[in-house]
Chains A and B, each alone.
Chain A
Amino acid sequence: MNGPDYSYAPLLFFAGIGAAFAVFSVFAASIAGPKRYNRAKADAYECGIQPSPHAEGGGRVPIKYYLTAMLFIVFDIESVFLYPFAVSFDRMGLFALVEMVLFVVTVFIAYAYVWRRGGLEWD
């Protein structure tokens, strides 16, 4: 290798511009922006919709959300593996088919557990 390798220099340059822009924006907003009071500004930010009410003192969130989210992830991961398999299963033959079936079976074992233990019942 002759001398230092500069092939990653644009990456560093880009990171520098990004950081500079973030710092500039924050300062520029505090100097140039108008400061008018609006009650919505004091609310919790929730993707532009009315924020859902929270109980005082760090109240509890229904655990149902968590179970649904978990189950979604299980099937999400499954589809992540199924897509590449579906695109090229003809090149991999029977072995890949058997492996995929085993993989789907393990996912369904988790599903059967959640179903039987009442994880799918909303109330």
Chain B
Amino acid sequence: MAADSFVQAHIDYGAVAPMLIVFGTAMVGILVEAFVPRASRFWVQLPLAIAGMVVSLVVLVTISRGHEVITAGGAVVIDAPALMLQGTVLVLSIIALLAMAEPLGTRSPDAFTQSGASVPGSPAEANAVRLGATSTEIFPLTMFAVGGMMLFPSASNLLVVFIALEVLSLPLYILTGLARRRRLLSQEASMKYFLLGAFSSAFFIFGAALIYGFAGSLDFDAINKAIGTNGGMDGLLAPGVLLVAVGLLFKAGAVPFHSWTPDVYQGAPTPVSGFMAACTKVAAFGALLRIFYVAFESLRWTWQPVLAIVALLTMVIGAVLSVVQTDIKRLLAYSSITHAGFVLVGLIALNTVGISGTLFYLAAYGFSIIAAFALVALVRSGGTEATHLSQWAGLGKTNPLLAGTFSFLLLAFAGIPLTSGFVAKFAIFSAAVGHGATWLAVVGMAMSAVTAFVYVKVIVLMYFSEPAEGTAVVTPSALTGISVAVGTVLTLLLGIIPAPLFEMTQHSTLFLR
């Protein structure tokens, strides 16, 4: 009988403990939402979420020494790259969550609406605000997203990748639609993100089905072996690989699957944009790395030119379109598209230098972009966020601290020496030159120059224009303070002494299969 052949999958609970802790914290967060009185929810949820991620990180660091396993029946791989990516996601999520929680003197995260389900400006919304509704649901939602982001790069089975993709995406769709200010824009962004995300998920799962038809398995290792042995079935394999790549490149925000990025980053609550730009990119590129380096490893000479073209388009289109942006959030969104192109240049290098450069770039960029979006959230005009560039004029005179920090972060995005951006770009482009793709490195440097022009334009606007009417900078609590300080200091430190992080990424290039 078939049922007698049931084999129980062995699960190494130590190896998956960091993910279990994050998911468990999310569950407790839901119970807190259900049972703790409104007034005290914020100060229960915030320490709970932070504690959950810190404990998870401690466990992750503890198990990281010589603990490399393939567990859960080959569905989850905890190897050096997975540990490195999970650690990066956790650290970035902690500082992103601090910025997202910013209460600005209230008992609820300031960036989020208190009544997401009601029509903007309706009596129902006013009533919810009057009754003291809170927006503390964002804490469990974020924890679920973080859990999905941790599973995404460690999944070793296309179905588990898909589940992780959904677990990280669904909370992000909701978080995107919860902005307190400019709610219609936020809801529009949420809807667009959801619809396009659903399409990309469908592409992914259809690709996975085709690959299953080709290989007879969804396990990465089995797929790779099948590519070596099953000749003459490219009709299933090639579309499968391409469709899976579409699903992943969508999450990474690469051209031609980037069009959602500016709308969503503009509409989402500003700290959530930072969270998505940092952590989602880490998770998405982590999954891309594992799938292309493990599952499609035997095909590497076939997919490499395809991804090279994607990288080229991503760099050029992101950089060129960032020149004409007039909204600071859209500008940072196009900048993040360009950066995704740079990371792709490292990803297609097919050597350990490329992998370690990619991992370094993701971490370095994450710290900078979280701090940058946290600062954008503080600039206000007439009760709403002042995101139009003209409203940023003269900030250098009215608020030198904010303008100075933001200028430094922009210089890091441009890749000026003494910032982490320079070291990261250097690592990526030297990997590209190392494997013979000098043309990609040249295009990358040209596009760096184009984006540098955009960033310098913003800096000039802040320092050499008359202050704009009505623009004011709100004074944040220590939460945003810590978030921005950590992001900025690490951007500087990684630019001066990159060796410790480089050493870690260089030890994290070997995929277990």
Contacts and interface: CB of A to CB of B under 8 A. Distances in A.
Contacts of A63: 117
Given A92-B8, A106-B27, A113 B34 contact: yes
B30 interface: yes
Secondary structure dominating the interface of A: helix
Contacts of A115: 34
B167 to A, nearest CB: 13
A116 interface: yes
Interface string A5-30: 00000000000000000000000000
Contacts of B27: 106, 109
A91 B30 contact: no
A113 B30 contact: yes
Given A63-B117, A88-B3, A112 B31 contact: yes
Interface string B363-389: 000000000000000000000000000
Contacts of A93: 8
Interface string A84-111: 0000100111011000000000100110
Contact of A91 (B6, B33, B35, B117): B6
Given A88-B3, A88-B6, A91-B6, A117 B34 contact: yes
A17 B31 CA distance: 54
A93 B7 CA distance: 12
Nearest to B32: A113
Contacts of B4: 91
Among the interface residues A63, A110, A113, which one has the most CB atoms of the partner chain B within 10 A? A113
A115 B3 CA distance: 38
Interface in B57-105: none
Nearest to A116: B34
Given A63-B117, A109-B27, A117 B33 contact: yes
A110 B31 CA distance: 8
Interface in B1-44: 3-4, 6, 8, 27, 30-31, 33-35
Given A63-B117, A95-B8, A116-B35, A110 B30 contact: yes
B3 A91 contact: yes
A12 B435 CA distance: 47
Range of interface residues on chain A?
Answer: 10 to 19
Contacts of B35: 112, 116
Contacts of B34: 112-113, 115-117
A88 B3 CA distance: 8
B6 A109 contact: no
Contacts of A117: 33-34
A91 B8 CA distance: 10
Contacts of B33: 113, 116-117
A61 B280 CA distance: 35
A96 B9 CA distance: 11
A33 to B, nearest CB: 38
Contacts of B30: 109-110, 112-113
Contacts of A88: 3, 6
A95 B9 CA distance: 10
A115 to B, nearest CB: 8
Contacts of A110: 30
Nearest to A95: B8
B3 A109 contact: no
Nearest to B9: A95
A102 to B, nearest CB: 10
A63 B34 CA distance: 20
Nearest to B34: A116
Contacts of A113: 30-31, 33-34
B117 A109 contact: no
A112 B27 CA distance: 11
A54 B4 CA distance: 55
A21 B30 CA distance: 52
B354 to A, nearest CB: 39
Interface in B456-513: none
Nearest to B5: A91
Contacts of A96: 8
A25 B340 CA distance: 52
Interface in B311-363: none
A93 B30 CA distance: 30
B6 A92 contact: yes
Interface string A30-58: 00000000000000000000000000000
A81 to B, nearest CB: 15
A122 B237 CA distance: 51
A11 B27 CA distance: 46
B44 to A, nearest CB: 15
A113 B117 CA distance: 16
A113 B144 CA distance: 16
Nearest to A115: B34
Nearest to A87: B3
A10 to B, nearest CB: 18
A2 to B, nearest CB: 14
A78 to B, nearest CB: 16
Given A63-B117, A88-B3, A91-B3, A109 B31 contact: yes
Given A92-B6, A113-B30, A113-B34, 4 more contacts: A88-B6, A96-B8, A113-B33, A116-B35
22 contacts: A63-B117, A88-B3, A91-B3, A91-B4, A92-B8, A95-B8, A96-B8, A109-B27, A109-B31, A110-B30, A112-B30, A112-B31, A112-B34, A113-B30, A113-B31, A113-B33, A113-B34, A115-B34, A116-B33, A116-B34, A116-B35, A117-B34
Interface of A: 63, 88, 91-93, 95-96, 106, 109-110, 112-113, 115-117
The 6 closest A-B pairs by CB, nearest first: A116-B34, A113-B34, A112-B34, A113-B30, A109-B27, A109-B30
